[in-house]
Amino acid sequence: MAMRRLAVVVALFGSLVATHANAWWDLGHKQIAALAYGKLTPSAKSKANQLIKRHLAYPMWIRGLEGMSPKEIEQAAFVNAAVWADDIKNTNANCISLAPPGCYVGGPTDKVDGPNAGANIGMADHLIHDYWHYYDIAFSPDGTQTIDSPPVNALSQINLLTAALSDPSKSDDVKSFDLVWLLHLVGDAHQPLHTTQRFTQQIPNGDRGGNEEKVDIGGTEPIKLHMVWDGILGESGPAAAAIAAATALPPADPVAARVSDPAIWFDEGFAIAKKDVYTSEIGPGVGDFKLTAAYLTNARKVAQERASIAGARLANLINAALR
């Protein structure tokens, strides 16, 4: 059902926006990784390639790439690895991608307040860590009491994993695990609804980054506001499609690209969410709210800019950590 709804978003963008249409679900994360890979130093690229090859899911990332050159396979594996943090939410996909004796599975202990929520133990960690994907800065336009993000979140983990990636005392097992997570989390950090939670009198417990609001974009049924932004630039595709699509993204602002503090990335996303996500078209309740073509066109422009700068910042992070 979710994929069918997302296809509606993609189809509508094909008719509303006369530009290349790809990014932020699987294809978007892959585009960000493709941009980053092209900006890696030779030394960092070599080290990153070796860490990707150590990962238990590597056989899945190179499946179907027979006949490509070794360099092309390395690039494609790096790009495909950017979606693994979402893949592990699906037990069947996990079992396919990982070698015996087991799979990555989430369970009752995989909670944000659990004892292993913020652990960094490498491949021995078989938890899904869904709460690693976002850091919700809370706000309320009507004075409703807000709730702060839990201490283990995307911001805390980007900082933790980045520090470990550059730590010579950490094993390659841990660094492989951390690099693959970072390929994904840096992308998440640049999606405005992974940085924000809105509280209103009608949604007093918070909207979970736009997951509580439904919007009408002209499909057969309303969809979640969060899904619009997650799927605004495309759904899925092979690494080759993402590598090609990445070339259509606007160039990142060089000054902004040098901003290395992840806290600032989330502050940026928070400001963008208040300005470009929660516009006057989004009322204080759960909807359904009708989104105009102008809203969607601007959203796509914002998403392209965020994906581009995410790729540049991801490259800078990896270059610094694997120098």
DSSP-derived pairing of the beta strands 214-216 and 223-224: antiparallel
Instruction: Quote the pLDDT of residue 128.
Output: 87
Instruction: Quote the pLDDT of residue 267.
Output: 98
Q: What is the mean pLDDT of residues 227-248?
A: 90
pLDDT category of residue 93 using cuts at 50, 70 and 90: low
pLDDT category of residue 292 using cuts at 50, 70 and 90: very high
Quick one: tokens of 236?
């899925």
Between helices 70-81 and 26-38, what is the axis angle to 10°?
A: 130
DSSP state of 149: P
Residue 299 belongs to what H/E stretch?
Answer: helix 293-321
φ and ψ of 198, to 5 deg: -100, 135
- Any residues with CB less than 8 A from the CB of 298 and at least 6 apart, and which? 276
Q: What does pTM read for this prediction?
A: 0.90
Instruction: Quote the pLDDT of residue 70.
Output: 97
| CA nearest to 123, candidates 177, 161, 74 | 177
* Residue 238: CB atoms within 10 Å: 16
| CA pair distance 215, 287, nearest whole angstrom | 6
Query: Residue 198: helix, strand or coil by DSSP?
Result: strand
pLDDT category of residue 127 using cuts at 50, 70 and 90: confident
**Bigger pLDDT: 108 vs 302:** 302
Quick one: tokens of 237?
């595709």
pLDDT category of residue 101 using cuts at 50, 70 and 90: very low
Quickly tell me which residue has 């606007």 as its tokens: 250
Instruction: Quote the pLDDT of residue 91.
Output: 60
**Bigger pLDDT: 99 vs 190:** 190
- Any residues with CB less than 8 A from the CB of 160 and at least 6 apart, and which? 118, 120
Instruction: Quote the pLDDT of residue 236.
Output: 83
Dump pLDDT digits (tens) for 178-237: 999 999 999 999 999 999 999 999 999 999 999 999 999 988 899 999 999 998 877 888
Dump pLDDT digits (tens) for 135-162: 999 999 999 999 999 999 999 999 999 9
Instruction: Answer for the pair 181, 161: CB distance below 8 angstroms, yes or no.
Output: yes
Q: Which of 88-102, 198-212, 300-314 has the lowest mean pLDDT?
A: 88-102
